[in-house]
Amino acid sequence: MSTNTEATPQSPKQQVAIKAAEIVDNGMIVGLGTGSTANLFIDELARRQQEQQLDIQVVASSVISRVKAQQAGLNVLSIEHLTHLDMYVDGADEVTIDMVLLKGRGQDLVCEKLLASHATAFYVLVDDSKMVKQIGDKNPIPIEVMPNAASLVLNRLAKLQAKGSLRLNAAGDNVAYSAAGNLILDMQFSGLETAQINALLTVMPGVVEHGIFADIAKAVLVGSADGVKLLQA
């Protein structure tokens, strides 16, 4: 008696995670993002390391990713020991066709942008539900601010016709703090293009970092039911 077993279909997120892991070469230092898609990439990278005896090192953008990487058997470096980073792999909350990203729904925005900006190549992994015409179409723009500057920044943004508030913690009974110890404003803008918002926030006193990632990604891998589509700079 014979039995036929069919492989479980791969989700779009799994497809892009596998494709990204295939890019990793022996000897690389790889930055790990945070989130569900990044977790799939960590799993696939660990599988390749074990099966193909890859000599690689990784650095994590968050405590969660660091713990997961260690549990998967990857060799984890501390950020403070980095002198270079070959590639950084992470998901995104929104992506436009010209590869502008929105990130920061989690708590690790500062570290994520640090690694993305300093990596030789930044690869973004998303499914097609994350594609938008303009940043902010589906989510507010996260803005990390110095704790003592939150009211000043919020007032300044209100004068620019932005609407929003301080992010609350999961319980909803207090403000949320980022991994870097900052407060987070979730803001919606009207009447301004993404490039204008990016420029304003980048130089605004009191703003530590914000969720617009422009001109940083080398490629975006977009998973769908039809396979993986590659967007490149």
* CATH number of domain containing 180: 3.30.70.260
Domain that includes residue 90, residue range? 12-131+214-225
Residue 71 shares a structural domain with residue 169 = no
Q: Is 205 exposed, middle or buried (0-12, 13-18, 19+ CB in 10 A)?
A: exposed
208 SS3 class: strand
Amino acid at 222: V
Give tens-digit pLDDT for 34-82: 999 999 999 999 999 999 999 999 999 999 999 999 999 999 999 998 9
Is residue 114, in this structure, part of any structural domain at all? Answer: yes
Query: Is the residue at 197 inside a domain?
Result: yes
Residue 215, pLDDT above cutoff 70: yes
C-beta separation of 38 from 65 below 8 A: yes
Please list, residue by residue across 48-87, b when 16 or more beta carbons sit within 10 angstroms of its beta carbon and e when fewer do: bbeeeebebbbbbbbebbbebbeebebebbeeeebeebbb
Residue 70 lies in a domain: yes
Tell me how far apart the terminal alpha carbons of the chain are, to the nearest angstrom.
Answer: 53
Pair (106, 68) in one structural domain: yes
- Choosing from 44, 112, 144, 209, the catalytic residue is 112
d(CA 207, CA 130): 26
Whether residues 205 and 218 share a domain: the answer is: no
Burial of 33 (0-12, 13-18, 19+ CB in 10 A): buried
* Residue 1 in domain: no
If asked whether residues 160 and 218 sit together in one domain, one would say no
Establish if 7 belongs to a structural domain: no
Question: Do 108 and 61 share a structural domain?
Answer: yes
Region for residue 211 given its phi and psi (left: phi exceeds 0; alpha: psi -120 to 50; beta: otherwise): alpha
In a shared domain, residues 165 and 51: no
- Cβ(182)–Cβ(144) below 8 Å: yes
Based on the fold, state whether residues 98 and 204 are members of the same structural domain: no
Checking DSSP bridges between strand 207-210 and strand 212-213, what pairing results, if any?
unpaired
Tell me, yes or no, whether 55 and 148 share the same domain. Answer: no
pLDDT of 175-203, one tens digit each?
Answer: 999 999 999 999 999 999 999 999 999 99
- The answer to whether residue 47 is domain-embedded is yes
Q: Is residue 48 part of a domain?
A: yes
Whether residue 99 is found in the same domain as residue 30: yes
Residue 233 in any domain: the answer is no
Residues 183 and 205 in one domain: yes
Q: How many domains is the chain built from?
A: 2
- Summarised one tens digit per residue, pLDDT across range 217-229 is 999 999 999 999 9
pLDDT digits (tens, 9 = 90+) for 7-19: 566 899 999 999 9
Q: Judge whether 62 and 108 are in contact, CB under 8 Å.
A: yes
Q: How far apart are CA 5 and CA 202, in angstroms?
A: 53
Give yes or no: 112 in active site.
Answer: yes
Are 17 and 124 found together in one domain? yes
Clarify whether residues 109 and 221 are in a common domain. Answer: yes
